[in-house]
């Protein structure tokens, strides 16, 4: 991995660590999702994959987790 790419990844992951923990597992999930997107982009360079669909799928899965956590939190407050 080129040094410049490594630096960018380091910065992204450090910024993710500073995210507010909006629900249990939020920060870890964002870091995992960003890591998976970076890995998908790397594979895309080597193989002809449908990178846009894979990234969309990862973002949708993360959004579904956040929606379910938000609903659970609202239900617990009632």
pLDDT surpassing 80 at residue 3: no
What's the mean per-residue pLDDT of the chain? 83
d(CA 7, CA 13): 10
Tokens of 41: 């982009």
Confidence band for 75, pLDDT divided at 50, 70 and 90: confident
Buried/exposed 62-71: b ≥16 CB within 10 Å, e otherwise: beeeeeebee
Rg (CA), the chain: 15
Q: Render pLDDT for 7-44 as a digit per residue (tens, 0 to 9).
A: 888 888 888 888 888 888 888 888 888 888 888 888 77
């Amino acid at each position: 991995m080129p040094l410049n790419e490594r630096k960018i990844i380091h910065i992204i992951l450090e910024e993710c660590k500073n995210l507010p923990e909006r629900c249990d597992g939020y920060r870890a999930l964002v870091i995992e999702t960003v890591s998976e997107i970076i890995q998908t982009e790397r594979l895309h360079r080597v193989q002809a994959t449908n990178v846009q669909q894979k990234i969309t799928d990862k973002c949708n899965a993360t959004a579904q987790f956040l929606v379910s956590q938000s609903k659970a939190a609202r239900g617990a407050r009632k």
